[in-house]
Amino acid sequence: MAGEPQDDCLFCKIAAGHVPATIVRESETTVAFRDINPQAPTHVLVIPKAHYPDAASLATAAPALAADVLRETQAVADEDKLESYRIVFNTGSGAGQTVWHAHAHVIGGRGLQWPPG
């Protein structure tokens, strides 16, 4: 069920503290941690603690929680002193989503080209 932790979800396990991660921020509703395959000097994932399979389902079912995720992306950028950065939500395998738990990538600390890969 949407919002409920999933036993087979890596990010649910990280949010619960069952899988280690380099956590940089945690709020009542979100967790932010360093990406294990960073694409820039700052590459942090911000996830809701509640499970939603992608950004679209999160925004539809829990818009306040989606706003919490976005607020935390700004806090991550502030803590890493980023003047500019990119927020990426991959939705679907064709867009590069590999973990089916909504998450925002905060990417910065180097020049970022457009369009992205």
Per the annotation, the verdict on 103 as an active-site residue is yes
* Cβ atoms 104, 58 nearer than 8 A: no
DSSP secondary structure of 34-98:
E-SS-SSSEEEEEEESS--SSHHHHHHH-HHHHHHHHHHHHHHHHHTT-SSEEEE---SGGGT--
112: nearest Cα among 81, 89, 87, 85: 85
Active-site residue (options: 43, 51, 103, 105): 103
Provide the annotated active-site residues. Answer: 103
